[in-house]
Amino acid sequence: MTHEEKKTAKIVEELTIFFFALGAEHVSSDIQRTGTQAVISFEADYHPMYADKVEKLDQYLNGQKNDGMEDIYWELAGSGDPGETSQLLLVGMMIDRAEIVIKDRLVRLKLYRETVR
């Protein structure tokens, strides 16, 4: 497994841990690789008392990308406390963009990541 594949797997792992910490009872993910791009589709529910964290997903995931930080810190994804938003900031540095749909206590994410092969 290459570093790029491990990074993609860490992203899915971190999102799963984050949503379990928000009370998710349903979590699903899918990864599609085409050429040099990985597209992660992710869906999870959450407990209503965490709506404030869910509403900030765009801020965390579509923040400024920093390739240097990604190369140094990607292995730390998943090492913080569950539900920590700092881990989502790291995920945001590891992806190129995120599409986020929040409706009826359900979050649908589509994350795009250019990979090097």
Q: Which domain holds residue 42?
A: 3-114
This prediction's pTM:
0.83
CATH number at residue 14: 3.30.565
CB 95 within 8 A of CB 61: yes
pLDDT, averaged in runs of 10, over the chain (117 residues): 83 94 97 94 97 93 69 51 65 92 97 84
pLDDT at position 86, please?
A: 62
Q: How many structural domains comprise the chain?
A: 1
Identify the pLDDT of residue 71.
55
Q: Which residues contact 103 (CB under 8 A, 6 or more apart)?
A: none
What integer pLDDT is reported at residue 82 of this predicted model? 47
Q: Which two tokens stand for residue 64?
A: 């400024």
Name the residue type at position 103: K
